Amino acid sequence: MRYLITGTAGFIGFHLARRLLEDGHEVLGVDSFSPYYDLALKEDRNTILEGYGAFRVARLALEDGPAFNAAWAAFSPEVVIHLAAQAGVRYSIDHPEAYISANLVGSFNVLEAARRLPVRHLLCASTSSAYGANVDMPFRETDRAVHPMTLYAATKGATELMGHAYAHLFGVPTTFFRFFTVYGPWGRPDMALFKFAKAILAGEPIDVYGGGDMSRDFTFIDDLVEAVVRLMDVAPNEANRVENDSLSPVAPFRMVNIGGGRPILLMEYIGELERALGRTATKNFLPMQDGDVPHTTASADLLERLIRYKPETPISRGVPAFVDWYRQRYGH
């Protein structure tokens, strides 16, 4: 099949594209190669993908609607996975304009393209941050999520609403997934695991926010990719409605958590990293940062009912896999 993936130079997009290419599919990657973090990392991911004969990349920003439409039309994808976004919770506090442009305008152009050039299934990335100030755990897709803590979360929640409106008005089968703290090889340098590893190996202290009492539902990248691949075959409709579904009553639209439902304390996560590196971190304990939430836990019930799968990789396997990649790439 032909898959169009936005954000293939990014962490998740790279892994998903590589999986689909290995499975024998054609992939068009769309990426602006934004300088938000190390461009060399993005270029190296892209070089690996270009080693597959069935991959091509369109270097453009989603905000450029005409260029994006032209690339979509020329490739004629059967399934589209929209992963590109301006990421980062704290970056959104100081650079809000980047989130309006990339996340809202960019996603609008994806939806407009799907309206004009329909596909079998449109799948779009959202985030566990969309649950915002919710405190009832685990987070369920049917929970109200109307109290975002950052502009990043607000823009992702807005794209969910936009996606529902387009699914209702134009009948595009649309699945949004809320990712829960994804980590693994080729991860982003602004994420905790990468920052912690870099500091520990340099003999520098790590900043541990919230006094170390925070917990996250960590999701290993291979598990997330497997879940997304399986969800591609479950375009939302009444025929595949399951118990406690988030399927819309008025649109071919569904929201699905991708997380394992097993929260891990931040200090346990750091401990696993210390064991993998063979070093002990000097910890600088600090208060919670603006926009952070103390805990996240996914309900994986809907995911399991739909695809008979949920993320299972423990941090005792996932963190060493990241460390192996990090040492190989950076020579520590």
User: Buried (b) or exposed (e) across 180-206, using 16+ Cβ within 10 A?
Assistant: bbbbbbbbbeebbbbebbebbeeeeeb
Measured CA to CA, the distance from residue 246 to residue 144 in angstroms comes to 11
**DSSP 3-state of 189:** coil
Closest to 64 (Cα-Cα) out of 99, 27, 86, 31: 31
Complete DSSP assignment for 231-243: HTT----GGG--T
Provide the annotated active-site residues.
152
> Could you write out the DSSP letters of every residue in 250-310?
SSSEEEEEES-S--EEHHHHHHHHHHHHT-PPPEEEEPPPTT--SB--B--HHHHHHHS--
Report the C-alpha gap between 292 and 277 in whole angstroms. Answer: 27
Helix %, strand %, coil % of the chain (to 5): 45, 15, 40
3 state SS of 78? coil
- Residue 319 tokens read as 């963190």
Query: What pLDDT, on a 0 to 100 scale, did the predictor assign at position 188?
Result: 95
Q: What residues of the chain score a pLDDT lower than 50?
A: none
Strands 121-127 and 174-179: parallel
Cβ neighbours of 272 (radius 10 Å): 22
Q: Using CA of residue 151, residue 174, residue 106, residue 17, what is the dihedral sign?
A: positive
Rounded Cα gap, residues 273 and 150, in angstroms: 28
The helix (H) or strand (E) run that includes residue 41 is helix 39-50
Nearest-angstrom CA–CA distance, 90 and 161: 23
Note the residue count of the chain.
332
Q: Measuring CA to CA, which residue among 266, 299, 308, 263 is closest to residue 283?
A: 266
**Domains in the chain with CATH codes:** 2-183+218-258 (3.40.50.720), 192-215+262-297+313-330 (3.90.25.10)
Dihedral pair phi/psi, residue 139, rounded to 5°: -70, 130
Reference 213, options 138, 292, 280, 274; nearest CA is 292
